[in-house]
Amino acid sequence: MSDFIECLSIETNDAGLRPIITYQLLPKLKNIVIENFNEDLNKNIKELFSKNDPRLIMVATEIVQDGMLNSAAPGEGAMVAGWYDENATYWVERSTHFFDIVDYFGVIVCALEEIYTSPKK
């Protein structure tokens, strides 16, 4: 992820945008949030922004399949377990936080070869 942030910073600087890279949300600026939501971040977003807010841009890091985030989704016929199982607590929790906040973002950038089948459950 740090390589992605560095690349994003270089590209936006080259485009003349001069981004401020911070872990804080800044209501007077456009905010690029790399998707990895939790209860505290979601609460903060809801307090500072409105639904479909053009100041919020999400960089999506996972794939939505059947309402579940899962970047490690198995191919057809593949068997997975533990961390990579789409029903693992990790993916259920990340999916819950994602769907709780996704409507607040005015833009979603999908930096994957695969595309979201739907941002809705």
- Tell me which range, 1-5, 40-44, 114-118, is most confidently predicted by mean pLDDT: 40-44
Place of tokens 């994957």: 112
Question: DSSP per residue over 43-107, as a string?
Answer: HHHHHH--TTEEEEEEEE-S-EETTEE-TTPPPTT----GGGSTTSHHHHHHHHHHHHHGGGEEE
pLDDT per position as a tens digit, 61-74: 776 666 667 665 55
Q: What is the pLDDT of residue 81?
A: 57
pTM of the model: 0.70
- Domain residue limits, the chain: 24-110
Residues 78-83, mean pLDDT to the nearest whole number:
57
pLDDT per position as a tens digit, 82-91: 555 666 777 7
pLDDT per position as a tens digit, 4-40: 777 877 888 888 877 777 778 989 888 888 878 899 9
Secondary structure element (H or E) that encloses residue 98, with its range:
helix 89-101
**Taking a C-beta distance cutoff of 8 angstroms, is the pair 55, 49 a contact?**
yes
| Residues 6+ positions from 118 with CB-CB distance below 8 Å | 64
Secondary structure element (H or E) that encloses residue 96, with its range:
helix 89-101
Strand partners, 53: 105
